[in-house]
Amino acid sequence: MASHVLLLALLALVLSQAIASDPSPLQDFCVADKNSPVFVNGFVCKNPNFTTPEDFFFKGLDQPGNTMNKLGFNATLVNAMMLPGLNTLGISLARLDFAPYGLNPPHTHPRATEVFTVLEGTFYVGFVMSNPDNKLFSKILNKGDVFVFPEGLIHFQFNVGKTSAFGISGLSSQNPDVITIANAVFGSNPPISDDILAKAFQLDKKIVDWLQTQF
């Protein structure tokens, strides 16, 4: 009987870890102490006696980001580094700004689901299922529309309009991180062997070498 109880307890522990994203808080809040030398998963808690309303406040999402780049895109991320009060709460958000025909290229968030809300403009968005199906789910979004990108799946947002556009994304982690596919594959440091990339993408090595120079 005791062995069965122990087995169930271990199973519950494993399942709780398997379904969790960020750890759940164990107190009302844990404001990030960004000056602490202690390295932990997330940030060390600031002494609550020294916590102020400013720790829970961020200003500036009304201001558009600079989209003067090759992609015509800018992300203003509000995570625990920018807003210390988010530490241990398992959420963050970002303002996404797009120049006309601007693109947030195919990427993933390894630790977060993303919910994208269009505040201005028209977007073509989508995500791709994992192997072997690799099915594309895509949609044209207009002002007020919402689309969800499941955690870890490759997705993109493209402004199909002739004017600037923007939206707000909510993410289910205080540090969702991002892996832009092209940057990771062709811009890794040190570079991935062009023999590997040429075979993986079925390209001539000269084309791979050129692509690597772009990143």
- Extract the annotated binding site for Mn(2+): 107, 109, 114, 155
Helix, strand and coil percent figures for the chain, each rounded to 5? 25, 25, 50
> Which class for 106: exposed (0-12), middle (13-18), buried (19 or more C-beta within 10 A)?
middle
Please report, in range form, the residues annotated as the binding site: 104, 107, 109, 114, 155
Cβ atoms of residues 91 and 172 within 8 Å = yes
CA-to-CA distance for 186 and 194, rounded, in angstroms?
A: 9
Q: What is the torsional sign of CA 18, 19, 25, 26?
A: negative
Placement of tokens 């500036």 in the chain: 60
The dihedral through the CA atoms of 5, 6, 9, 14 has a sign that is negative
Q: Binding site for oxalate: which residues?
A: 104, 109, 114
Distances (CA, A) of 5 to 8, 13, 17, 111, 167: 5, 12, 19, 32, 49
